[in-house]
Amino acid sequence: MAQEVLSALAKGTEPWPNSWKLAQELGLKHDEVVGALKSLEAREYVALEQLRESRFELSAEAARYATEGTPDYRLFSALLARGGRAERAELEQELGAAFKSGLQSGAKRFFTVDKSCLQVLPGLELGEDSDAVLLAQLGRSAFFTGDFTELAAREEVKRLQRRKLFEVKTLNYYQPRRGARFAPTLAVQRADLTAEDLATEAWRDAAQFKSMNLAALGRETAAGGLHPLMKVRSAFRQILLEMGFEEMRTDRFVENSFWNFDALFQPQQHPARDAQDTFFLRTPAATEFVDEELKAYVAAVGEVHERGCANELGESTGWGYAWSGAEARKNVLRTHTTAISSRYLWQMAQELKRTGVFRPRKLFSIDRVYRNEALDATHLAEFHQVEGLIVGRKLGLPHLKSFIRQFYAKIGITQVRFKPAYNPYTEPSMEIFCFHPTLQRNVEIGNSGVFRPEMLAPMGWPADVSVIAWGLSLERPAMIQLGCANIRELSGHRVPVKNVREAPVVTL
């Protein structure tokens, strides 16, 4: 293409045609000719001067006015035909849709309007529809007809432009002139210098070689990025591992109601077990319990729900309702990772029964949970919980508060507040709040408590073993750390890929 354009120029005499004319002469697209000229310019075969040319482009509406007449003029002439004054309703009936726009643009110019009548301005006669004539003229405008500047300066044209009846289209084009290295044929330039070129001294003829662009940016390297939320997750995980916690396996997003609710002494009528709050599975809708030990435990849990239990700590009356095994078998998307904690606690109680050796433990997990919630700036239907528990002796609120304070201090949140709360499975229970600097208010970042004997006793834990536990938000502290006010910037399908790509793998 560059050679074709170069030959066409070399054949003619200067001044050479501009890029637009050249495109017409060669039967090429203007863009292609401009591309070829620019590459010739880069090699100094030609020098280019950039020029601009404009033309008018009528809107569809204006094109119609140019042939059918403008609505204001049509209204004006209809008025004159009625002796200069007429009822709105009458005119509207005659002109239809044109009446309204004619009224807008013709008022004060051709006629005055009062409540029900239009009245032609004194002294006006029916001349030609000058706007329609002008629009027709603008409609004929093309690049290089030479009338743009004169027309654009006219008051009437400016008035039509304010009414958005046309747009101005601008073309950038180029005037080529002979360049410093002009020649009628394009020399083939080589990109590489060989040993032979050095030996034969061919390198001394610089024109043979492509020049190097030393300012070119290198190709962007695709390095691994980490989703900002996952980065915060790995930081949290690291902190908990350093604090001596073991990680629980959480690869179990579908859970049955038994582990998610019943094992946690959550009564079957509890509103959290409603379809409004929990996603129930259609297939498979229910879990069958087959393991004998497990079946015995399920029965024991049912018993505690119905009638309670007793140990050295005291006596519980239970919830006093007829517990249903079928309800417990229903599958759900886990609503909290406390379901995982209840599984681990039961396993650990089994181990204690088998071995007779009590092992205090500190466990954690960070994974997704699901709730059927209305979404807003701080709520999602799918989010992460930082779950944890400590199994030991004589553990209570002081240990719980101290752990929570320590943990948050490690991620830079030092102003933590506790609020008494209620969970069916913990007593006492506390919600955890901290101040969100971007949202400028306290936000709940977690919930916690001391597991109730009604939960631990049927698992087989002796009364002197106590368990403190918590479920903390991952997203909210992450929002605080990353300074984002809307959770959707951090999680879900609207997270900008750029944020991920630009998040270096190593930080904090």
List residues near ligand PHE by CB under 6 A: 336, 338, 423, 426, 447-449, 469-471
Packing angle between helix 155-162 and helix 130-139, nearest 10 degrees? Answer: 80
Nearer to ligand PHE, 318 or 424 (CB): 424
Return the SS3 of 115: coil
Number of Cβ within a 10 Å radius of residue 150: 9
Nearer to ligand PHE, 18 or 342 (CB): 342
Give the CA angle between residues 396, 398, 404 to the nearest 5°: 105
Nearer to ligand PHE, 101 or 365 (CB): 365
How many helices (H) does the chain have, and how many strands (E)?
20, 16
Nearer to ligand PHE, 426 or 466 (CB): 426
Residue 448 Cβ vs ligand PHE, minimum distance, rounded to whole Å:
5
Residue 284 Cβ vs ligand PHE, minimum distance, rounded to whole Å:
24
Torsion of CA 89, 92, 94, 95, to 10 degrees: 170
Q: Are 451 and 391 in contact (CB under 8 A)?
A: no
Residue 336 Cβ vs ligand PHE, minimum distance, rounded to whole Å:
3
Q: Which of 469, 471, 439 is nearest to 452 (CA)?
A: 469
The 3-class SS string of 210-263 reads: CCCCCCCCCCCCCCCCCCHHHHHHHHHHHHHHHCCCEECCCCCCEEEHHHHCHH
Residue 213 Cβ vs ligand PHE, minimum distance, rounded to whole Å:
59
Q: Which residues pair with 311 in a beta bridge?
A: 314
**In the 8-state DSSP scheme, what is residue 166?**
E
Nearer to ligand PHE, 74 or 336 (CB): 336
Nearer to ligand PHE, 9 or 340 (CB): 340
Nearer to ligand PHE, 54 or 372 (CB): 372
Residue 470 Cβ vs ligand PHE, minimum distance, rounded to whole Å:
5
Residue 364 Cβ vs ligand PHE, minimum distance, rounded to whole Å:
11
Nearer to ligand PHE, 19 or 448 (CB): 448
Residue 273 Cβ vs ligand PHE, minimum distance, rounded to whole Å:
13
Q: Are 480 and 434 in contact (CB under 8 A)?
A: yes
Nearer to ligand PHE, 49 or 376 (CB): 376
Burial class (CB in 10 A: 0-12, 13-18, 19+), 414: exposed
Burial class (CB in 10 A: 0-12, 13-18, 19+), 304: buried
Residue 296 Cβ vs ligand PHE, minimum distance, rounded to whole Å:
25
**How many Å apart are CA 248 and CA 365, to the nearest integer?**
5
Return the SS3 of 466: strand
> Which residue is closest to ligand PHE by CB?
471
Residue 214 Cβ vs ligand PHE, minimum distance, rounded to whole Å:
59
H or E segment and range at residue 33: helix 30-42
Residue 308 Cβ vs ligand PHE, minimum distance, rounded to whole Å:
21
Token pair in block for residue 342: 């209840």
- Report in angstroms the alpha-carbon separations of 71 from 129, 403, 463: 10, 79, 92
Nearer to ligand PHE, 330 or 336 (CB): 336
